[in-house]
Amino acid sequence: MAKVNVSDSGTVGSSVLSLDSIRESLIRQEDTIVFSLIGRAQFPLNSPAFEGSPSLDSANSSSLTEFFVREIEFLQAKVGRYENPEENPFFLDNIPHSVFPTHKYPTALHPKALSVNINKQIWDVYFKELLPLFVKPGDDGNYPSTAASDLACLQALSRRIHYGKFVAEVKFRDAPQDYEPAIRAKDREALMKLLTFEKVEEMVKKRVQKKAETFGQEVKCISDSGDGSEKKYKVDPFLVSRIYGEWLIPLTKFVEVEYLLRRLD
């Protein structure tokens, strides 16, 4: 199996990247995603935070949340967050160089990997499709905390989806003879078939559903009425599985295909 340098935490670095180490990293990222969804679910939709707001002073932002994300990304860039190839900013025009010495990450991906960034699509999907599914409607005015929770979700989802570049690289190195004809023919459908393993996807969906059940169960006090037979969850576990099945996994494979199409450039 082809191998690329990667750290034990899943970040490109010291140890060896293989399909097994990638799976381990993706499993750990599941925890982060589930917890971020649970954290966001404590607030209602709070749509004024992310809908267009002409009252903002910044000409580059159309909402409180966009302004918040831009400012946080700018700060994180200055301390080197986006030197890590696992991290992909939402606002590319807003990213300065780090002002501190940063870790020198070995080159694990093709240089064209930098051109694969679908965060605009992730942003739209998150606010227009996902968010209304797992938060309650309403407005409690707690916009700054809501924006912070949205950022945690967005970054966790983006990291997971763009990790598809590492998945694609290892799969390509492991069997270039399978991928090169489809890449040269620009055959997206053939590449998608090569990258799809339905049994693995079903296993992932079941695992994240179980994690949502475990992490998100409402804990009752002994004095609470009822026998406790009806469990309540902060986020519907089936919905978390659905988010993976209908959005995260397909978008990850989309990133894999986009990366592979550039792999021979």
Share the mean pLDDT of the chain: 90
The structure tokens 């990222």 sit at 29
Q: Give the pLDDT mean for 157-174.
A: 97
Alpha carbon distance 126, 119 (integer Å): 10
Instruction: Please state at what angle helix 164-174 crosses helix 143-162, rounded to 10 degrees.
Output: 10
Phi, psi (deg, nearest 5) at residue 254:
-60, -45
Burial 111-133 (b: 16+ CB within 10 A, else e): eebeebbbbeebbebbbeebbee
Report whether CATH 1.10.590.10 matches the domain 4-262: yes
DSSP three-state, residue 114: helix
Q: Give the pLDDT mean for 106-132.
A: 95
Q: Give the pLDDT mean for 125-132.
A: 97
The answer on pLDDT for 61 being more than 70 is no
The pLDDT tens digits for 150-162 are 999 999 999 999 9
pLDDT computed for residue 62 by the predictor: 86
DSSP three-state, residue 105: coil
The pLDDT tens digits for 180-237 are 999 999 999 999 999 999 999 999 999 999 999 999 998 876 555 555 567 899 999 9
Tell me if the pTM is above 0.85: yes
Percent of the chain at pLDDT > 70 equals 87
pLDDT computed for residue 103 by the predictor: 84
Percent of the chain at pLDDT > 90 equals 78
